[in-house]
């Protein structure tokens, strides 16, 4: 079968690889329907690593994905603990925690030190035609959720977890720094949770426009002093909760400057240089609560409910559809932020 494999920084090739083997107990074989390209994939593509995670043989990327079940291994049940069947459309949670370590037992499977993750070395991801996945990672989705939206359930899950960590109360004021798909979904969830007002910041005009369409008061960080406009808008108070969902080093300090005294900071973005930059005095004098978001916790069921009821729109975040053969070009384009790119969906076996 065909697979898009990362060989090194800026080097993705569409290769022929062997088909997946026989489906084992608890697993399912899926025909991959669609895969979203994520900011963390771009980190791997641009830097050849993410944080201290590197790889030493060609890796199939892709962790935001959905597909159709082709074969079911003995006793395979889905994430809802229901038996899975051939022909079902499923969204796949890429994380597989061990569920038997202390951290898992304490209710933090997203922090499991023994976990594997589809698309992160050494586990191959979904930019291929077929793959075997654990049944437990599969969540059946209704036909009303498109293939593209099915891949964005992963992004929505990350945003739900971030909002959970923000402990939003009705009418809390919120700022979101970074209006990529995760930032925009945090913004939409904050609106849905009753936050008001919601402020947003980015430097790409089309993403700022999306933030405005989503109900935020949004500014371009290259055109204003973001901290000054935020303080002017809040009468110098700052906001209750700030979500940092950009990649830029200075955006963490910006987030700290935007929070009110005693406010909360949720850090979701992943900096390219793997460093956190913040003045200690800002955080200390304000007594900020700083929370680092790590992936998500069993958020697919809630993400599916929000998408099915249209409480959260997903399809409008998709800016490009490409084929598996287009993947090398699509990564290059996405890494340069050309053509008003927001979310690229790779359609592998469109329904
Ligand atoms: Zn992702
Ligand atoms: Zn564990």
pLDDT averaged over consecutive 10-residue blocks of the chain (351 residues)?
A: 95 96 97 95 86 81 98 97 97 97 96 96 96 98 98 98 97 98 98 98 97 98 97 98 88 96 95 86 97 94 98 98 98 95 93 57
What does the pLDDT read at residue 47? Answer: 86
What does the pLDDT read at residue 305? Answer: 98
What does the pLDDT read at residue 194? Answer: 97
| Same domain, residue pair 55 and 109 | yes
What does the pLDDT read at residue 9? Answer: 93
Interval between CA 132 and ligand 1 midpoint (Å)? 19
The residues, ordered by sequence, that sit 6+ positions from 282 with a Cβ below 8 Å of its Cβ are 253, 256, 257, 288
Is residue 193 in some structural domain?
yes
| Same domain, residue pair 96 and 171 | no
**Total number of domains constituting the chain:** 2
Q: What is the pTM of this model?
A: 0.96
Interval between CA 24 and ligand 2 midpoint (Å)? 22
Interval between CA 154 and ligand 1 midpoint (Å)? 7
What does the pLDDT read at residue 50? Answer: 67
CA distance 74 to 177: 46
User: Which ligand is located closest to the Cα atom of residue 110?
Assistant: 2
| Same domain, residue pair 268 and 334 | no
| Same domain, residue pair 340 and 279 | no
Is residue 304 in some structural domain?
no
Is residue 306 in some structural domain?
no
Is residue 125 in some structural domain?
yes
> First-to-last CA distance in the chain?
19
The residues, ordered by sequence, that sit 6+ positions from 11 with a Cβ below 8 Å of its Cβ are none
Interval between CA 133 and ligand 2 midpoint (Å)? 18
CATH code for the domain of 197: 3.40.50.720
| Same domain, residue pair 184 and 271 | yes
Interval between CA 149 and ligand 1 midpoint (Å)? 13
User: Which ligand is located closest to the Cα atom of residue 117?
Assistant: 1
| Same domain, residue pair 64 and 196 | no
CATH code for the domain of 125: 3.90.180.10
| Same domain, residue pair 138 and 69 | yes
Interior CA angle at 183 toward 259 and 265, to 5°? 25
| Same domain, residue pair 328 and 274 | no
Segments forming the whole domain that contains residue 251: 157-292
User: Which ligand is located closest to the Cα atom of residue 104?
Assistant: 2
Q: Mutual orientation of helices 226-233 and 250-258 as an angle, nearest 10°?
A: 10
| Same domain, residue pair 55 and 92 | yes
| Same domain, residue pair 132 and 175 | no
Is residue 150 in some structural domain?
no
Is 190 in a helix, a strand, or coil? helix
| Same domain, residue pair 187 and 275 | yes
Is residue 95 in some structural domain?
yes
Is residue 49 in some structural domain?
yes
| Same domain, residue pair 138 and 67 | yes
Which residues are found with C-beta within 5 Å of the ion, ligand 2? 97-98, 101, 104, 112, 114
Instruction: Specify the DSSP element, H or E, that contains 169.
Output: none
User: Which ligand is located closest to the Cα atom of residue 44?
Assistant: 1
251, 273 contact by CB (below 8 A): no
Is residue 70 in some structural domain?
yes
Interval between CA 64 and ligand 1 midpoint (Å)? 6
User: Which ligand is located closest to the Cα atom of residue 97?
Assistant: 2
What does the pLDDT read at residue 48? Answer: 82
Q: Is 70 exposed, middle or buried (0-12, 13-18, 19+ CB in 10 A)?
A: middle
Interval between CA 34 and ligand 2 midpoint (Å)? 29
């Amino acid at each position: 079968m065909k697979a898009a494999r990362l060989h090194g920084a800026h080097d993705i090739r569409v290769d022929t690889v062997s088909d997946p083997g026989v489906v084992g107990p608890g697993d399912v074989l899926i025909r991959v329907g669609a895969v979203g390209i994520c900011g963390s994939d771009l980190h791997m593509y641009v830097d050849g690593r993410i944080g201290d995670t590197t790889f030493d043989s060609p890796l199939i990327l892709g962790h935001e994905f959905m597909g159709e079940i082709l074969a079911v291994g003995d006793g395979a049940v889905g994430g809802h603990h229901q038996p899975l069947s051939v022909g079902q459309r499923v969204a796949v949670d890429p994380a597989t925690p061990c569920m038997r370590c202390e951290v898992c037992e304490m209710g933090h499977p997203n922090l499991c030190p023994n976990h594997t993750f589809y698309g992160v070395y050494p586990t191959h991801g979904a930019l291929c035609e077929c793959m075997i996945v654990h049944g437990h990672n599969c969540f059946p989705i209704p036909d009303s959720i498109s293939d593209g939206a099915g891949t964005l359930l992963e992004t929505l899950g990350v945003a739900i977890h971030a909002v959970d960590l923000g402990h939003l109360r009705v009418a809390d004021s919120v700022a979101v720094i970074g209006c990529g798909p995760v930032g925009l979904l945090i913004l939409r969830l904050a609106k849905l949770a009753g936050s008001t007002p919601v402020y947003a910041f980015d430097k790409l005009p089309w993403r700022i426009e999306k933030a405005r369409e989503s109900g935020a008061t949004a500014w371009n960080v290259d055109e204003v002093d973001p901290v000054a406009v935020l303080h002017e808008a809040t009468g110098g108070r700052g906001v209750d909760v700030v979500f940092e969902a950009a990649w830029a080093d200075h955006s963490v300090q910006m987030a700290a400057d935007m929070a009110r005294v005693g406010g909360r900071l949720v850090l979701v973005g992943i900096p390219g240089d793997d460093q956190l930059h913040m003045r200690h005095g800002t955080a200390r004098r304000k007594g900020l609560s700083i929370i680092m978001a790590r992936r998500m916790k069993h958020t697919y069921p809630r993400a599916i409910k929000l998408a099915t009821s249209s409480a959260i729109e997903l399809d409008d975040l998709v800016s490009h559809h490409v084929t598996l053969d287009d993947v090398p070009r699509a990564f290059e384009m996405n890494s340069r932020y050309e053509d008003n790119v927001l979310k690229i969906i790779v359609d592998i076996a469109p329904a």
